[in-house]
Structure 1
Amino acid sequence: MTKTAWVFPGQGSQDLGMGMDLLDIPSAKEKFDQAEAILGWSVIEICQKDEKKLSQTVYTQPSLYVVESIFADLMRERGHKPDLVAGHSLGEYVALYVAGVFEWAIGLHLVKRRAELMESAAGGMMAALINFDRDQLEKVIAQTPNVVLANDNSPAQVVISGSPESVRAVMSEVKAKRAIPLRTSGAFHSPLMAPAAAEFQDILEFVEFQPAIIPVLSNVEPFPSIDGEILKQRLNKQMTGSVRWREISLQLPANDIEQVVEIGPGNVLTGLIKRTSPDLILKNVRRAAELPI
C-alpha cells in the first residue's frame, strides 16, 4: 500500500463555485444544511454567487472548512484513508476533524469563532516574498521590530506579517523577485493577533480533544502526534505562531509518505510541496469529478 498524506489548504485558496458540484450528493447536502444551522448563513449561497463575501475572513474560513471536510468524508465513504494529515492554517482544523480529534460540528463552531476574532483583529499587514535571499530576510526581520515570518511555505516563497510600516520596511530592504502585499484583514500568524488568540484560547479550554486516530503534523510544531492534549496546545499557538509548511513538506518523506492528496480548492499546497519534496506523488481533489472511485 502506498503511504498517503491528506493535506488541506487555508484562506486564499477559496474560489467562487467551490463545492457546488456536491449538492446532488445527499450526505453533502445534509452537511451544508447543518452548517447553515450552526453559522446562521448559507455556505451554498455565498459560494455560488457572493465573491465579495467569500473573500472576507468571517465567511472564507467556515466555507473552506465545510467544503474540504465534505470532500474528505466522501473519500472516506469510498474506502480511502490517509496515513498522515496536515493543513495550512485554517486547513489544520479540517485535518484535526479527519483525525477524529473533535466532531465535525465542534470544529465548525471553533472555526466560526476563530474567523470572527481574526476578522476583528484589524490594523496589520501581510506580504508574500518570492525568490529571495533567506539569510538576508532572516537578518532584516531580526533587526526590524513588529514583523515576523508568518508562513514559511517553501524554499522560494514566504509570507511576512506585522505592522504596515515594518512589513513595508522589510519589503524594501530584502531583494526578492516579487514582493506582493496580501489582502487580509490583519497581521495573521503574528504577535499582533495576541488579543484574539487569548480570547480564542479561553474557548479552546472547554473543548475536549480526543486522541487522534491518524497522526497530525501541526503548523507550529511540524512533527507527527496523536496526543489530543499536545495537538490542542499546538492549535493554541497557531493564531500567533508561524505556519511552518516548508518543514511539514520535508517531514512527509521523512515519515515514509509516498503520495500526497490535497483536498480542497486550488493546488497551492501541492505546488509548495513539489518545490520542497519533489519526489512525492501529488494529487488534487478540487471537485466531485476528481474524487477517487
Structure 2
Amino acid sequence: MLAVLCPGQGAQTPGMLLPWLELDSVAQRLHALSNATEVDLIAHGTTSDADTIRDTAIAQPLLVATAIATGREALAGLTPGVVAGHSVGEFAAAALAGTLADADAVSLVTVRGRAMAQAAAQSEPTSMAAVLGGVAEEVAEKLESLGLTPANANGGGQVVAAGAKSAIDALVAEPPARARVVELQVAGAFHTSYMAPAVEILADAASGVARTRPTATLLSNADGTAVDSGDEVLARLVSQVASPVRWDLCMERMLELGVTGILEVAPGGVLTGLAKRGMKGVPAVALKTPDDLPAARELLEAHA
C-alpha cells in the first residue's frame, strides 16, 4: 500500500518551482492554482528569496499548490491508499484525497496563512524550536517549566516546542540533557493557543467550501485516525491551526494500515527523513525536481 505525504511549512526553498515549470502539465496546474489565491505563486516559487517565502501568508499557499501540482503529476490519475500532510500540508492531502477541490484548498489555505500571520503579529513575540534527542520525560518537563507547548510531536525523538520568544531563547541557551535545540525560521507559535484568533477566521471561510468524502484513507494530524467524512475533515483542518500536530501517531497509523511505500510530494525531503526513523525499512521517494519522477513511478508500480 502506498502513502502519499505532503510537507509542511519550513520545507520551502528559494527557486523550488523553477525545474517544475519546465513541465507543461505542472506549469498549467500551478498557473491555475495561482489564480485561486491573491499570492503570485509563480513569482514567489522562482525569484523570491528565503526571507520573503518564509512569510506565513506566502509560504502556506505556495507549499500547498506545489504539493498538489506535483502530486497530481506523479500519481497520473491513480488513487493512493493513504494520504497525510504535516500541518499546512494537510490541506494538500485533503485535495489529493478528493475531499477538497484543488483551487478550494489553495484558496482556503491563503486565508489560513494570512490569519495566522495576523495572530502572530497581535501577540507577544513568539517562535518555535526543534528539540532533537534527549529523554522524552525530561524534554517534556523542560518545556513545561518554560511555559512552552509541544506543538509538533514528529516521532524519532523530535519535538517542536512553541511559545514566547523569550522562552524559546531560554530553551536554546539551556537545552535538555543530551538534546540539541534548533530555532525554526517561522513567524510565530503555530499550533498553540496563540493561534486561536486564526481559528475563527478560518472557520468562517471554511463554512462555504464544498467538501466530499475522501476517496483515499486520509489521516488526521490530531491523532492519526482515518477521517471518512468531508465535514469532519474540514472541521479538523480548522481546529488544527491551534492544536498540536501528532505526526508520530500518523506514522504509527500508517504502519498499522500496512503501508509498504512512501511518496513525499514536492518540496519533499522532510517527511521521508522522519520516516527513516519512525517507519524504518519502508522504501520512500521524495519529489524535489522532475528528475525524481521516474523513481516515484517505479514506487507506484510496486506499491500502489
TM-score normalized with structure 1 length: 0.92
AA partner of residue 196 (structure 1): A
Q: Which of 23, 26, 31 is residue 24 of structure 2 equivalent to?
A: 26
State the match for 1:158 in structure 2.
159
Q: Give, in angstroms, the shift of residue 183 of structure 1.
A: 2.1
CA shift digits 1:167-188 (9 cap, x unpaired): 3445536224311122211110
Q: Name the structure 2 match of 1:72.
A: 71
Q: Which residue of 2 aligns with 1:284?
A: 286
Residue number in structure 2 paired with 1:105: 103
RMSD: 1.8
Q: How far apart are the structure 2 equivalents of 1:281 and 1:173?
A: 33
Name the counterpart of 2:138.
Answer: 136
Work out whether residues 79 and 215 of structure 2, in 8 Å CA contact, stay in contact via their aligned partners in 1.
no
Structure 1 residue ranges, 4+ long, deviating more than 3 angstroms after superposition: 140-145, 165-171
Structure 2 counterpart of 1:61 = 60
Report the CA distance between 1:231 and its aligned residue.
1.4
Structure 1, unaligned stretches of length 5 or more?
A: none
Match of 2:217 among 215, 218, 223: 215
Moved more, 262-271 or 175-184: 175-184
Corresponding residue to 2:263 among 261, 264, 268: 261
- Any unmatched runs of 5+ in structure 2? 298-304
Inter-partner Cα distance in structure 2 for 1:175 and 1:288: 42
Note the C-alpha offset of 1:288. 1.1
Counterpart-to-counterpart distance in 2, 1:285 and 1:266: 5
SS at match of 1:149: strand
CA distance in 1, matches of 2:38, 2:141: 46
2:100 partner SS: coil
Structure-1 separation of matches of 2:199 and 2:206: 10
- Secondary structure of the corresponding residue to residue 135 of structure 1: helix
Residue of structure 1 in register with 2:79 after alignment? 81
CA contact (8 A) 2:219 2:225 kept: yes
The one-character-per-residue Cα deviations of 1:214-241 (angstroms, maximum 9, x if unpaired) are 1111111211122112212221221111
The structural deviation recorded for 1:63 is 1.0
What SS does the corresponding residue of 2:264 show, helix, strand or coil? strand
Aligned length, in residue pairs? 289
Contact 1:65 1:108 in 2 (8 A): yes
- Give me the whole-angstrom Cα distance separating, in 1, the residues matched to 2:45 and 2:234: 30
Bigger shift: residues 57-66 or 20-29: 20-29
Q: In 1, are the aligned partners of 2:152 and 2:247 still within 8 Å (CA)?
A: yes
Kindly indicate whether the alpha-carbon contact (under 8 Å) linking 2:56 and 2:187 is maintained by their aligned counterparts in 1. Answer: yes
Moved more, 103-112 or 44-53: 44-53
User: 1:246 touches 1:273 (CA, 8 Å); kept in 2?
Assistant: no
Aligned to 2:177: 175
Evaluate the alpha carbon distance shift between residue 225 and residue 36 of structure 1 in structure 2; reply closer, same or farther with a 3 A threshold: closer
Identity of aligned residues (%): 27
For the residue of structure 2 that corresponds to 1:23, the secondary structure is: helix
What's the counterpart of residue 273 of structure 2?
A: 271
Letter of the 2:62 counterpart: S
Provide the secondary structure at the position in 1 that maps to 2:258: coil
SS at match of 1:222: coil
Is the partner of 1:272 in helix, strand or coil?
helix
Question: How many Å separate the matches in 1 of 2:197 and 2:178?
Answer: 32
Distance in 2 (alpha carbons) for counterparts of 1:124 and 1:108: 26
Change (3 A) 1:229 1:35: closer
CA contact under 8 A between 1:121 and 1:185: conserved in structure 2?
no
Between 171-180 and 89-98, report the one with greater CA deviation: 171-180
Cα distance, 1:29 vs structure 2: 2.2
**Aligned equivalents of 1:41 and 1:244: distance in 2?**
29
